[in-house]
Amino acid sequence: MKTTPTPATSVSLVIVESPTKVATIQKILGPSYVVASTKGHFADIPERRDAVDTANGFAVQYRLTEKGAVVIKELRGLLAGAGELVLATDADREGEMIAQLLVDFLEPTVPVRRVRFTAITKEAVEEAMANPSQVDADLVAAARTRRVLDHLYGFQVSPELWSTVRTGLSAGRVQSPALRMVVERERERMEFVKARFFSVELTTSTEPTFEAVLRTLNGTEVATSRDFDEFGEIPRDMHAFDEIEAGHLVMRLEGAVVTVSGIDKRDYRRRAPLPYVTSTLLQDAGNRLGIGTKAAQAALNALFAAGHITYPRTDSPHMAPRAVAAARATAIELFGEASVPEKARFFRAKNRNAQEAHEALRPTVMSRRAVKTSGANAARIYDLIWRRTVASQMLDATGTTTTVSLTAMASGRHETCVFAVAGTVIEVPGFRAVTGDEADVASLPPLEVGDVVPVAAFGCTEHVTRPPARYTEASLIKVLEEKGIGRPSTYSSIMSSLRERYVWSKRGDRALIPTVTAFAVDQVMQTCFEALTASGFTSAMEDRLSDVADGTIGYADVLGAFWLHGDGTWPALSRLIEEGRGLFDPRTRPVASFGIHPQRGEEVVLRAGKAFKSRRGAWLPRPYLACGTRNIGIPDNTEMDTLTKQHVFAMFMQDRDPRVLGEHRGKEVEIAFGMYGAFVRWGGEIVRMPRGLDVLAATMEEICGHIDAAG
C-alpha cells in the first residue's frame, strides 16, 4: 500500500483487485493518482448455514474476512486524503460486486467513479479513465444471486454428505455436475468390455512409402476399433480377424499383385481458428503445453497485470476493429498479402450468456512477438495467444485429400482384398504458416487407376479396443463449456475443488481419476439430489443469472424459484432436502458390493468414511472394505477397476499369515497384514510404499524397485 497522501494533494484514489497491477497502472496514471489494491475478495457471506435469511427476501449481510479487515482499514486511510474514489475492479460481474462492496464498507464522502480496464496499457487505461460510469446494479445483483445460490446449495446439501459419507465433504452447484461427469466416465471404463482383434496391412516400396490397411474381404467390411461397441461386439455384417485368421491371410497374400483400383479426390479445408477465449486457452494450455488449469490461469493473470494481454476471463471471441487490423497487418508482414482473406474476420459468441463487452484473449501489442516474464509458463502461453490471434485473421488451409483403394487377390481361396490409404496435399497453407500444425497431413506418391504398386511386405497387427478416455482438466472444461456449466472465472476454481477433494492423477498423467470417496459422494447426490446434478439445471441457472444481469428478472425472484417453489426446470431445493433426507442409508448402500465371500460366507462391500486411528493417535477417515465384522482400510485413491472380486476376496482369506515373495539383496521380502491392510516387510523392517500402491497386486520387481528407491 502507498502511504496516506496529504489532503493538499487532492489526489484520486484508484482501487483495483490484484496487487500485481498496481505498479503498472500507477506508472501510467502518474502522481495525481494513488493506486491501491483490494488484494482480491475482502468480504463474503459468513460460513454459516443460516447466513441467508430465506424467509425475508434472501437478505444477506456480507462480513469482512480477516484479511479484508486489514485491507479496508488501509484503504480508508488512503481515502481520507483523496478528493475522488475511482473503482477500477475487474470488468465482470464479480468485479462489479467488489466495487459495490468497496462503496458499502468505505462509505466514501467524495465523488465516486467506476472505470473498467480491458487491458493494462497506457491507451486502454487512459480511455477507461476518460469514459467513467457508475456501478452497474444489475451486474451486482447477478453476482450476488450467484453467490447466494452457491451458498444455499453448499450449506444446505453438504450436511447430507456428512451424515452419509463423512464430515468435511462438500457439494457445489457447479462442482457436483462436474464430479458426476468424472465418475460416470470411470463407470463407463469399468463396464467396458475390451475386444482383441487383428488388422491386416501392406507396406509399399514406393517413394515415399506408405502403409495401407485392409478394408474389405470379398466385399465384407473389416472392423476397426471404432466399430466395436462397449460390450466388445461388432455389427453382424462386418468381419473381425483373430490372430490365426490374420496370419493365414498374410501368408496367402505373399507374392500377390497389388493394383490401384480406385482414387477418390475431395477438397480439403480446415478453417482458421477463432481467437482464444478463456476455456479454449485453458484447453490448449493443457493439451499442447501440459500446463494445468490453475497454473495456466495464474500465467494469464500475470500477463494481464503486466499489460501484455487483454482481460483474461472472457467467453467472447470478439476483437476490436483496431486489433483485427493489427493481426491482419502482422500476418501480411510475415507471410505476404496473399496470406489473409479479402475481408477482415469479425467474430461473435454463439453462447447467449457470453459477455460481449469483453474482447477475446489477445496481445495488447501485436508487434510484441514474445514477452520476457517471470516463469516459463507465461512466456509459452503468450506465444500460444499471439499465434492464435494472427491465425484467426489468415486464410483457411486448403488442399486435396486423396483416398486410394488397392486390390490384391489372396491365393488358395481366391479372396478379393481391398486395402485403403488416404493422403492430403496442402495447396494453400493459410493459418498453418503461423501455427505450424501439420498433424492431419500425409502425402502419397503419384498414382493412377491400374498402376501396379510394389509391396515390401504384408503383415498383421494386434489391437485391443480401449475404453473411453478419462477426463483431463482440458477435456472436462470443454464439456462443461458445451453444456453451459460454469463461467470463465470459475473453471480454475472448479478444477481446484475437484482436485482438493475428489480426484487425483498418476504421476506424469493428466487424467482425472475419481477417488473412492468421489464415487460415494456421487452416489448420495444421485440418490437424494439428482435434479441438482443434471447439466440442464446448471445451464438453466446460468440463463437466469444472465436475465438478472440484463435487468429482466430480480434477485429475489430467482432465489425464490430455486429455494421455495422451483420453476418447472428444477424442484425447490427446500423440498428436495426434506424429501432427500434419509433416502440414502450408508448401511444398506455401500459404494460397491463384490458378492458373498467363498470362505467367510458374508458379503464383501466397499464403504467410504470409516475412521481409523493413526500411529500418532489421530482418527483419520478413509475408505474400507467390510466383510462381516472385519474391516480393511484401503487408500482413497484406489482405482475402482483394480478392485476385482478375486483380489478383494483374497484380502479376506482366513489365512492372513505373512507371505514371503522372495529375496532381495540378501534379505527376505514378505507381505504382512495389519489393520490398514497389506504392507511390505524387508528383512523384518516395514518399507514405506508409494501412496496408492496395491502391494497385493504389485510384482516382486515393482516392490524391489520401491525398496531401492526408499534407500
Task: Report, as residue numbers or ranges, the catalytic residues.
Answer: 311
If we measure between CA atoms, which residue out of 89, 499, 563, 551 comes closest to residue 295? 499
Do residues 93 and 183 touch, judged by C-beta distance below 8 A? Answer: no
Return d(Cα 418, Cα 407) in angstroms, integer. Answer: 5
Using alpha carbons, select from 482, 539, 501, 538 the residue that is nearest to residue 283. Answer: 482
3-class SS string, 485-549: CCCCCCHHHHHHHHHHHCEECCCCCCCCEECHHHHHHHHHHHHHCHHHHCHHHHHHHHHHHHHHH
Q: 167 - beta bridge partners? A: none
Backbone Cα Rg of the chain? 31
Burial of 131 (0-12, 13-18, 19+ CB in 10 A): exposed
The three-point CA angle 70-73-74 to 5° equals 90
Closest CA to 693 of 707, 612, 592, 663: 707
Q: What is the distance, to the nearest Å, from the Cα of residue 187 to the centroid of all Cα atoms in its chain?
A: 18
Q: Let me know: does 95 contact 17? Beta carbons within 8 Å.
A: yes
CB contact at 8 A, 37 and 17: yes
Work out the number of other CB atoms within 10 angstroms of the CB of residue 588.
7
Write the CA distances from 78 to 75, 164, 283, integer angstroms: 5, 50, 41
Q: Report helix, strand or coil for 698.
A: coil
Q: Return the axis-axis angle of helices 535-550 and 137-164, rounded to nearest 10°.
A: 150
- What's the CA angle centered on 22, arms 18 and 27, to 5 degrees? 155
Task: For 667-685, give the DSSP string.
Answer: EEEEEEEETTEEEEEETTE
Whether the bond into 208 is cis, omega within 30 of 0? yes
- The neighbour count for residue 415, using CB atoms within 10 Å, is 15
Contact 688, 682 (CB under 8 A): no
CA-based torsion, 228, 233, 238, 240: positive or negative: positive
Q: Which amino acid is at 134?
A: Q
Instruction: Report helix, strand or coil for 613.
Output: strand
Query: Contact, 1 vs 78, CB < 8 A?
Result: yes
Handedness of CA 290, 294, 295, 300 (dihedral sign): positive
Joined grid coordinates for residue 99: 466495487
